[in-house]
């Protein structure tokens, strides 16, 4: 199962970073590979979201994201091209709460119709780039 974890310091408080993470409709604006997002269902602390991305080929999958605390969001796969897709965001305050140490961790198991090279690219190469896109978005909104 390919997995990766990346941590990055972001110059916004955790609550502002959390707002960017939860703004699923805006992902296609600042993540070039993201073709679309559709919130299928939501309540106070849980969202079912369908993501469509293009990395070598188009991939569509749905995740259930759950806010566990003010600093943690976890997800698990509902449906799509993966056998599993689990992970979390952890947002820790730094610089007296003026900044965020953001950790993004993911574990993916490949479905039969998705080449392993696509998954390795998604997890290994794209993760640091994507986290940088979240950082840029959060800092541009401050």
Cα 73 from Cα 98, distance rounded (Å): 20
Residues 97-121 have pLDDT tens digits of 999 999 999 998 876 666 666 666 6
Global confidence as pTM: 0.89
Domains annotated on the chain, with CATH: 3-140 (3.30.530.20)
Burial class (CB in 10 A: 0-12, 13-18, 19+), 87: buried
Residues 24-83 have pLDDT tens digits of 999 999 999 999 999 999 999 999 999 999 877 788 999 999 999 999 999 999 999 888
């Amino acid at each position: 199962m390919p997995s990766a974890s990346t941590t990055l310091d972001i110059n916004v408080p955790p609550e502002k970073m959390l707002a960017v993470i939860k703004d699923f409709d805006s992902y296609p604006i600042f993540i070039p590979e993201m073709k679309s997002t559709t919130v299928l269902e939501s309540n106070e602390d849980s969202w079912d979201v369908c993501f469509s991305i293009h990395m070598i080929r188009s991939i569509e999958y749905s995740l259930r994201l759950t806010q566990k605390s003010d600093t943690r969001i976890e997800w698990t796969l509902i449906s799509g091209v993966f056998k599993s897709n689990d992970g979390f965001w952890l947002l820790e305050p730094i610089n007296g709460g003026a900044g965020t140490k953001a950790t993004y961790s993911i574990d993916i198991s490949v479905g039969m119709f998705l080449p392993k090279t696509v998954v390795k690219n998604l997890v290994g190469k794209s993760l640091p780039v994507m986290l940088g896109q979240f950082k840029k978005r959060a800092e541009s909104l401050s």
